[in-house]
Amino acid sequence: MAVAGASGFVGKALTARLAAADHTVVALSRSGGAVPDGATAIAVDVSDEAATAHALAGVDAAYYLVHSMAAGAGFREHDLELARTFGRAAATAGVSRIVYVGALGESPSSAHLASRHEVGAALGEAGVPVVELRAAVVFGAGGISFEMLRYLAERLPFMVCPRWVRTAIQPIALADLLAYLEQSLAVAPGIYEIGGADATTYEEMILEYARVRGLRRRRIVNIPWLTPRLSSYWVDLVTPVDRSVSHALIESLVTQVVVTRPEATAAAFSVEPMSVADALRAALDEQAESITSGLLDRAPGLADGVYTVKVDIAVPVETADSIARELAAIGGSYRWYGAAPGWALRVALGRAFGERLVLRRATELAEGASVDWWQVARAEPGHLVLRSDGWFSGDAWLGYRAEAGRLRQVAAFRPKGVPGFLYWKLLVPVHRVAFTSMARRRAGLRR
């Protein structure tokens, strides 16, 4: 099977799920980047019909997860043409079905939602049967809708919002969407409406996110005459998400997007969708697990609400053993971190916010062990990954890997509310010096 749009938010997750289930997967994207084991990456632009047909040769089912909202004005016409081209290419290649994620909403007035409906119809014009899953907001780290929700709830204790925050919406967890997508290989072609267990509003989603995240209750004041376009500019000030996409999404929030015909979906699928609260928890937990497992390969900067700092230092190959001993010596002393007075001050100040961070050593430095204000996520010779334990400001990770004459240190931080955001921003100058100093200390270049 093929996944078109494999480099996107849903595409990446679907490719990984299908590959883990031992499906033979062809991951199609313009970049043809890295894919999970069990999948084959092919770089192809789906606007090239011949190249797409060639990439789909031998494929039984194709997932279509492509959109071009980031292109700005004219995306609706462009998406329609891409869908027609892909449908013809799939027919030429002998694909037996196309599975597509569209959008909920009856007779939508927004360009975004109307485009999603048009694409679903266009994909089948060449005769390939289509399974169209119509969904609303998808809860998962990296999804534009979820990131907008995250930044608004995290950064604004008080909000002035337009009336669209009370429009009915039925979000779905990424895990549930992936289950529907996998089961779509065996259902009859047609349109299926899918959503989570709860129909809610954007206002209630903001409040629920705050509850799940452990933030203070968010105060929301509705201003009826604040239009979607004006509110999109306000969102630009608060969230760093792609403006072309966020503006299109905000304009679609005036349309009610809930499941109105659940019977056909319930008869064809065996998915039991999560509640809003469980979906939000799952999104945050899945992101935390992803950060933990992939910490040493994260790119520096801000991505999906997480700040990352990376330091690489060249070290003599023969120092590998000493670095391994240095990493294993963590626990029980501020001196391990360097700048001991600064760390002592950090721990003392944290008590004003309810932290109870203490120095402590582990009897064995193994996964799950507690050491100082960390929990050990991975501990091997020359490889250590730590996750924060009990920080008021958010979730932090610190990792080291020594190999092939290089020592890599990566720190990641997921702020929790305004205090966490301010904590990170105020300490940026300190971090720039401290992180480099810590890495050099691990390498034995500074004592």
Rounded to the nearest 5 degrees, what angle is found at the Cα of 178, between the Cα atoms of 174 and 179?
A: 120
Contact, 66 vs 86, CB < 8 A? yes
- The pTM score is 0.90
What integer pLDDT is reported at residue 226 of this predicted model? 64
Task: Split the chain (447 residues) into runs of 10 and give each run's mean pLDDT.
Answer: 92 94 91 81 93 95 85 78 95 97 84 87 96 95 89 87 83 97 97 96 94 92 70 68 63 81 96 97 96 95 94 88 90 86 87 91 92 95 94 95 91 95 88 82 71
What dotted CATH number matches 298-442?
A: 3.30.530
What integer pLDDT is reported at residue 51 of this predicted model? 95
Going by C-alpha positions, the residue among 72, 196, 105, 184 that lies closest to residue 146 is 196
What integer pLDDT is reported at residue 82 of this predicted model? 94
What integer pLDDT is reported at residue 187 of this predicted model? 97
Fold of 2-287: Rossmann fold (3.40.50)
Domain extents in the chain: 2-287, 298-442
What integer pLDDT is reported at residue 403 of this predicted model? 87
Return the structure tokens found at 253. Answer: 């929030």
